[in-house]
Structure 1
């Protein structure tokens, strides 16, 4: 929520929130449930665990020769996902590694059966866009009906800002497109406050959105040879790379090289403990790109479409103070708790929990 909306309401507090590492499929669990990667066993969408689907395992073996041709491999995986399985079963994972990886990430707000299991939401009526399964208009209609029923404890989940941010870079055009949605949201919040003038309203974003400026390639295979289970595996999605290596000397060489890359950051053991991603199942090495850079080719997917004229945005970059566009927000309206000047995920969870549970300090 931009500072341009600070004058929306009286008694509005706005505090910056530094995102944790990973993406929303992990961040929502961290921010609202205090469940981090080491506890859940999931950092990024694909986890290095054997695939159980027999059809996927068989096809991965049969089609492995297609890995030699990048374009043919990409196209065949698109066909399998869209026509055969009609879901994201292969993405852009090389066939030689597909049997050893499983897509396990599950969004907290994917559906009712997921978020209803969490203690924090059991006293709330959750109105969720279900990660885009429902339209903004449908979700807002449901939210407004819930408000008119007189419900006090309402938890709304909207993804319009994220969806739009991936398609349009930050700037005047993004602000113009966003304004219509924000005005609809403001009207609903205003109605809630008329009905419940003494109740606090909390607005939280799990991350900001940064403009993509560069597509980068680390050229690992030119330096360290072809990837394999006997040498090294380098998983990468938009901004995060996880590296496993069988030989300690090779791992040390890759580590030394990654430390020289200025447009990314190699996490130390101490940083991995802080972000609760110390489990080596997430990689012997974790490397995260700095704001504005994305991997040119990654395992999650690969698009052949031309970049949109409005640019594009991404998140999941290395969280540092200079990555200002990625910083999220905590907004409190009519609250009895005074927000601090800055929050990380650990402190943000406690303030969110306190407000949602009705605590005043």
Structure 2
């Protein structure tokens, strides 16, 4: 029975994503709102040079993007906001056309710090609300101005994490009109269930933003989320930078994959476009990051072809079940999410 339900959910996700277009590519969220299935990620490692994010967001809006994924931690929300406001004032878009996702960082994972953190993001953006606000990681650090706090011996300063209390504070922000939808990121099944089973739950998470790509397809987490009407948003949908501090370098670069490149030849597309199309056909939202105009344009050109069911299965079979983004420096935090199978 559960298997049949899952197959129906999967089929419905496939149907709804096959009809998406460059001008109409929103999919529904369980709270009545909707999310564009492709967005522009704005994180950069190393940090972007001044005005680079501003230019990238403006270019992306011109190319048709309406979804922007950011965070106070990225230190460039002011540029994202400036670009969005400028395009609104030009008459190119309206505020309601844009979907902005902001994030609550580990040093603000305390009920009394949630609303001030969200208000700080709104001040950076100079916007009245964000469309989505998510818990960036389920691990609390010592609160304060230092976003990566350590002691004099270089040990990370962790704090106890009360996810249910933080969620209640987020619900109050939604009631106050500061955010339209609430979600999480890097949560495993157990951590999602903590929220879903919270006594007095008012709003459930509508998305879980996690690493997801052809080498890490997240089949079990995707199935669990679909059963609970939670959309998966894929960060690093094309792999990620090769920073050894937080990236697992044992997995080969995704875009050199033979199957993705051979399918690219068949459809006259790049391996990146095949990888993105694969995820959106599974109902997974993708947020590829780029500050390069050609790649921003190219990543968006995924609505003029479809992979066959068999090709999607072949790409699923590439799964190595190995994360690029392992965050090994925090693997001794009591709430480190990646020890669990999913």
The TM-score with structure 2 as length reference comes to 0.29
Higher relative CO (Cα under 8 Å, sequence separation at least 6) belongs to 1
- Pick the structure with greater CA Rg: 1
